[in-house]
Amino acid sequence: MTYLLDDLERAGLIERHPDPADRRARRIAATGRGSELLDDLDQRLRAAEDQVLTGLTAAADRQAFRAMLAQLATHVNALDPVQDACAAAPAVAT
């Protein structure tokens, strides 16, 4: 996790601040740029999801479908755990 946070901090997407309640801990906060990027990615994800799920018109159907996908993903990961999802992505793309 530290390496991921280091990368996000170098990219200017997060800032680390001391935790006033625990001097050993750090609080992570999104920068303005990080918040903007997160909002943009969230909008793009919602648009893609709406396009894919357009055949499911009822909100309950969409929610049930998402829940089933999450359950399947958890099961698949339990059968064949992936230690590094980023490293696994190229193998899936081929």
pLDDT at 83 over 70: yes
The model carries a pTM of 0.63
Q: Please give the domain boundaries of the chain with CATH numbers for all domains.
A: 1-52 (1.10.10.10), 57-94 (no CATH)
* pLDDT score, position 40: 97
- Mean pLDDT within 72-89: 79
CA-to-CA distance for 41 and 37, rounded, in angstroms? 6
Q: How many CB atoms lie within 10 A of CB 14?
A: 19
* Secondary structure letter of residue 14 according to DSSP: E
